[in-house]
Amino acid sequence: MSSSLINGLFIFMLAGFIGFEVIRRVSPLLHTPLMSLTNALDAIAVVGAILIVGEHKSTLSTVLGVVAVIAATSNVVGGFLITDRMLKMFKTSRPAKP
């Protein structure tokens, strides 16, 4: 195993623990926007797909990459849009602080 794979495993482990601790604190009130937000963040996979398209190493890889970029971009745009739309609706009955 190369050292970059070992590094990757360390990062995965640490990010997993951070995710666990951070997400445990999210109120059940916001679980739906949470899922649409993580979905949008997960679509960061688009960067991998962009590289495959841009490097243009073979026709097959470019075609697969283009479809992948389309799928991921729609998640980025749709995910952030709907998360913000949902969060905008959450209002409190207490008067806002001045």
Residues 22-51 contacting another protein, CB under 8 A: 22-51
Establish if 3 lies at the interface with another protein (CB under 8 A): no
Q: How far is the CB of 87 from another protein (least distance, A)?
A: 5
Considering only residues 51-80, where is the footprint of another protein by CB under 8 A?
51-58, 60-62, 64-80
**From the CB of residue 36, how many other CB atoms can be counted at a distance below 10 Å?**
20
Radius of gyration of the chain (CA): 19
Q: How far is the CB of 73 from another protein (least distance, A)?
A: 2
Say how far apart CA 35 and CA 48 lie, in whole Å.
22
Q: What share of the chain is helix, strand, coil (3-state, %, to 5)?
A: 85, 0, 15
C-alpha count within 13 angstroms, C-beta hemisphere, residue 29:
7
Establish if 88 lies at the interface with another protein (CB under 8 A): yes
